Structure 1
């Protein structure tokens, strides 16, 4: 390199060559960073961007919930009132299924008169389940001669017997309990004799009263209020004699009734309360003469309130008005107390405290 070229190189290194890149200033770098952060073309000096409308999802959901709530109140006013402790006497909602025997009677309820619109008003039964749903069936396990699947079927049929005997609308009107009888061992002579006598006699005795097994009302005297019967109880089981599956049912039925000929809005409502204990034996056909799908009765007992205190008629007789008033000098009983078993010390059947004074109904 010549001296002239070397001198030019040194001079350009100090002053900078023409067209050489120049480092942008701090302000230029900030403007460039903002432009990169924007989407779309840059706005002009008089450009206006309206603010995005806010979504009102919260107000929409709140309004929808309010409309639904008003609709429920309009369609089901009585149930809604009951949820908040209104005319149902401050109920706290449905009771859980009875999985074990209660240790005490239900708590006291406000003394409210039942009506046609609210037949269980002022009663512990207001919180009970309806019909068969109130009869608890335990899980099945192999017992005696039966495997778990057969035990499950026998438990289901045991509940079917209770439903057919105590909830079938035709039986409640006094008709023959055909479905219930079909589940009974036709070779059990004493039970078959009881059935023939009790269902044909016009003047049954305490031992041949059909009410010992079946719930019946005389249509011309009383009718049920609505279609609901409240129930509470459960099934238990164990291995019985000769390896049989022995199933015990302990169930209370609450029947709201009104006089048959009274259709007025202020018609009297009387609750007939019936507690049944039935022990059923599902026998091994290799050891006991029986038929498939049938069981033998070991024992059956009954406690009733507001079902009649006169001689047996084969029907429950609710004490409407002043007819068939219960005596006041008898022992007082709580028909909703399920903490003690029915007294069966007099044998396999019992009419219990049908004529005792009930503390509530």
Structure 2
């Protein structure tokens, strides 16, 4: 006996059973849908990666990056490069690398001709303790270190090693002629003369005449050698400041032609004044000497010697009257005012070539006045 209930002993009415079968086939509206295995895997990976239960179809577009900062930075950099290109000397001066003696840092070596004179200096007079005070030379190198020698390369009849030796000996000549303490005291410049070609007749005649008598403008030893009368002036300290450089090229008959353009600054005091307040004057000398290292197969010469092509002098505070063969510092004239119309020169301006009119930067009626010393 069957119990009470529907078909086949079921307690579900027939109408409900038929509705269940129909919805199982077609799916009921709003009924939950079981996600597929792939969907469940994607959802799991996203949850592990982001830590948030994000739908596998969710997409968040990236925000566009603002590039305004890069544009401004690039514009500022371009303007800075333009300023450096147009005003290099001023820009270097802003950071303490200019040609002003107010800074303690030494100047870099002169590798090319400057385009302008050094900046203005405070109006300070030199002293025995500070002989270069108030001068651009305070930041120049000492002695031979201030003469820049360029890299050597094969030129003319010489290979690179021979050119290097010629450059070194050219600087040796400048040192022997302008820095040797014995020569500065008026002694014979024997070391410098030994580097000159003994077979160059005109130069040998010049040397004999210049070093044996007071000389003439054409036979003045100061055109090549720096000399002071020991009874008149004495050097202050052990340092002579220099600034300049050597250049070279192929000359006549394959020779190596070396040009020296160097300024020497000599601080001197009166020879008889040994007091602490002795007056100090700076004699400033700029020389341009062209030397030819000749091919011995084409020119009669001796090993290790060179011929002089030309030599010029620009001098300040060294005297400009009739040649005396020695520099004559103008002691006792520091407070004198230049006469109206007197031509002024800046002895530290190396941007202009030497005036070879008479080699002394003098006017027809006397010396030009130094704008500074």
List aligned pairs for 1:1-361, cutoff 5 A.
Answer: 90-201=102-213, 203-322=214-333, 328=339, 329-344=341-356, 346=357, 350-353=359-362, 355-361=367-373
Q: Distance in 1 between matches of 2:107 and 2:145?
A: 12
Aligned to 2:300, what secondary structure does the other structure show? coil
Q: Distance in 1 between matches of 2:172 and 2:212?
A: 24
Partner deviation per Cα, 1:15-65 (whole Å, 9 max, x = no partner): xxxxxxxxxxxxxxxxxxxxxxxxxxxxxxxxxxxxxxxxxxxxxxxxxxx
Runs of at least 5 residues in structure 1 that lack an aligned partner in the other structure:
1-83
Q: Distance in 2 between matches of 1:285 and 1:152?
A: 17
Aligned to 2:310, what secondary structure does the other structure show? strand
Aligned residues of 1:89 and 1:112 also touching (Cα < 8 A) = no
Aligned residues of 1:94 and 1:129 also touching (Cα < 8 A) = yes
Q: Distance in 2 between matches of 1:126 and 1:89?
A: 6
CA drift of 1:217 comes to 0.1
The range that moved more, 266-275 or 327-336, is 327-336
TM-score, normalised with respect to structure 2: 0.70
Q: Distance in 1 between matches of 2:288 and 2:313?
A: 7
Aligned residues of 2:128 and 2:236 also touching (Cα < 8 A) = yes
Aligned to 1:116, what secondary structure does the other structure show? coil
Aligned to 2:326, what secondary structure does the other structure show? coil
Aligned residues of 1:221 and 1:260 also touching (Cα < 8 A) = yes
Runs ≥4 residues deviating over 2 A: 325-330, 349-354
CA drift of 1:353 comes to 4.0
CA drift of 1:204 comes to 1.3
Runs of at least 5 residues in structure 2 that lack an aligned partner in the other structure:
1-95
Q: Distance in 2 between matches of 1:198 and 1:213?
A: 10
Partner deviation per Cα, 1:338-358 (whole Å, 9 max, x = no partner): 0011123x5xx7333482111
Aligned to 1:195, what secondary structure does the other structure show? helix
Aligned residues of 1:326 and 1:356 also touching (Cα < 8 A) = no
Aligned residues of 2:101 and 2:138 also touching (Cα < 8 A) = no
CA 200–229 in structure 1, closer or farther in 2 if over 3 Å, else same? same
TM-score, normalised with respect to structure 1: 0.72
Partner deviation per Cα, 1:101-139 (whole Å, 9 max, x = no partner): 000000001011110000000000000000000000000
Partner deviation per Cα, 1:285-330 (whole Å, 9 max, x = no partner): 000000000000000000000001221110000000049x796343
Partner deviation per Cα, 1:169-192 (whole Å, 9 max, x = no partner): 000000000000000000000000
CA drift of 1:168 comes to 0.1
CA drift of 1:89 comes to 6.1
Q: Distance in 2 between matches of 1:89 and 1:103?
A: 18
